[in-house]
Structure 1
Amino acid sequence: MNKEELTSIIDYTLLSPTATKADIKAFCEETIEYGFKTVFVNPYYVSYAHSLLSPHGIKVGVPIGFSLGGATTYVKVEETKEAIKNGAEEIDMLVNLGALKSGEHDVVKHDIEEVVKASQGLTTKVIIETALLTDEEKVKVTELIIEAGADFVKTATGFNGGGATVEDVRLLRSVAGNKIGVKAAGGVKIFEDAVNIVEAGATRIGASGAIAIINGDVSTASY
């Protein structure tokens, strides 16, 4: 995999709670310069990022229920609708971890289904926080994601401990097969990490340190 191919599958992210408008502008300028296809910003900045990036054909994505996943389905749905109204073109929702841990699989599936429905056909990914789950829970939630009609299972936010590992990506891909994509986020810091993750089965990578990954600069890479 060369750097151009890798750039095409990286979702460049800026989700810091203290990011300023100036930070977002600089981030968008970097996105244009490096040729990333999709960025992720917090809901407050979706409209602004969209205004800067849409002339360049770059998509703006948004996290829903970020960063804990414990919001009610109604709130997640309304957040999704507003984000789309503001220009969001991809949706990364947090799974309801409490319901999953409680074995309330119908609740988890319904939560995802309703956000998928609200997404109106846009690419929808479900973040499961692999570091907080057992292997059995990772398998089950991936099955629920497939049944609910989402497009991707995503490893982590990078905010709640842990991140993407080759082992987890390989496990998720074994369940996902060719039905849905696997997005690896958190812990991918250098070019070699990204290549290994892709070889394990990831079809997207989320990273705030995307430029460091592409440039091979370990010192500035981050989640």
Structure 2
Amino acid sequence: MMTTEPITIGPHGSWDASVAAKIDHTLLRADAQPAEIEKLCDEAKAFNFAAVCVNPWFIPLAKDRLQGSAVALCTVIGFPLGANSTDVKVFEAEKSFAAGAVELDVVLNTGALKAGDTAYVARELSALRRFVPQALYKLILETCNLSHEEIALACQLAADAGFEYVKTSTGFGSHGATVEHVSLMRASIRADMQVKASGGIKERSKALELVAAGASRIGSSQSAALVRLENPSVL
């Protein structure tokens, strides 16, 4: 059973630090503006979130805004469809890591997996790990498009490539994270790997359910609502 660790931080009220430490505070809308990214980073610092997740164009801005904090900088690779060629994904990963993103959320090539070309998927994931070995990798499965068997297979391919996480969703699919899929993913990976739940997580109760099901990271654009214990209108 999860325990809470409420902390009072002035105008932000009481919030649950144990959940905050699992949050990837996310803004991946196509029309996101620099001021919104600055606000995202400021919120992440205020609540001590694990990371902020932004599109690659915003990496320099987010890196500067997070300076001096413990919040990690995450970006997305092959987003949101995962259908770029391997060399394009590797190039994007190299440039993103060099710019300051230390966590890379890579979208699975769903078409290749569903076509049975697991060798292609395996080569792609291994190439990313080989060319940018220092990054922390999360493989976005877009579980709404996969059967249970395909989810388990994608998890195995991520494990074989040395990825640290598997992640449920981009947030742009037909639905986001579910308890059923998180539980399946947790059961399909090694003990030293982790699950990130993302997509449609707007209420604290859902976040807690997903953590209980096995998620150790939560990706959300509504992160303050997930951790605040009082004064929900603030921030």
Same fold (TM over 0.5): yes
Q: Which runs of 5+ in 2 are unaligned?
A: 5-15
Amino acid of the residue matched to residue 23 of structure 1? E
| 1:10-65 deviation line (CA, Å, top 9, x unaligned) | 10001111011111112211112222121000000001100110321221100000
Query: Aligned AA for 1:54?
Result: Q
1:63 aligns with 2:73: no
**Where do 1:31-180 residues align within 5 Å?**
31-180=44-193
**Once the two structures are superposed, what CA deviation does each residue of 1:156-215 show, in whole Å capped at 9, x if it has no partner?**
011122111111111111111404111111122211111111111111111111112123
- 1:176-195 to 2 correspondences below 5 Å: 176-195=189-208
Q: Helix, strand or coil for the counterpart of 1:40?
A: strand
SS at match of 2:20: helix
Instruction: Give SS of 1:169's match.
Output: helix
Which residue does the alignment assign to 1:14? 27
Is residue 211 from structure 1 mapped to residue 189 from structure 2 by the alignment? no
- State the identity as a percent: 36
Contact 2:97–2:135 (CA under 8 A) maintained in structure 1: no
| Paired residue total | 219
Could you say which structure has the higher helix fraction?
Answer: 1
Amino acid of the structure 2 residue aligned with 1:151: E
Computed over aligned residues only, the root mean square deviation of the Cα atoms, in angstroms, reads 1.6
Structure with more relative contact order (C-alpha pairs < 8 Å, separation 6 or more)? 2
Letter in 1 for 2:24: D
Q: Which amino acid aligns with 1:63?
A: V
The runs of 4+ residues in structure 1 deviating greater than 4 Å are: none
Aligned residue for 2:12? none
**How far apart, CA to CA, are the structure 2 residues paired with 1:183 and 1:118?**
23
Partner SS, residue 55 of structure 1: coil
Whether contact under 8 Å (2:17, 2:47) holds in the other structure is: no
Deviation at 1:137, TM superposition (A): 0.5
Q: Which residue identity lines up with residue 175 of structure 1 in the other structure? A: S
In 2: Cα distance, 1:137 partner to 1:209 partner: 29
SS of aligned partner of 1:70: coil
2:13 maps to what in 1? none
Partners of 1:57 and 1:202 lie apart in 2 by: 21
In 2: Cα distance, 1:204 partner to 1:10 partner: 6
Which of the pair has more CA radius of gyration? 2
Kept in 2, the 8 Å contact 1:190–1:214? The answer is no
Alpha-carbon distance between aligned partners in 1 of 2:102 and 2:35, rounded to the nearest angstrom: 22
Normalised to the residue count of structure 1, the TM-score between the two structures is 0.94
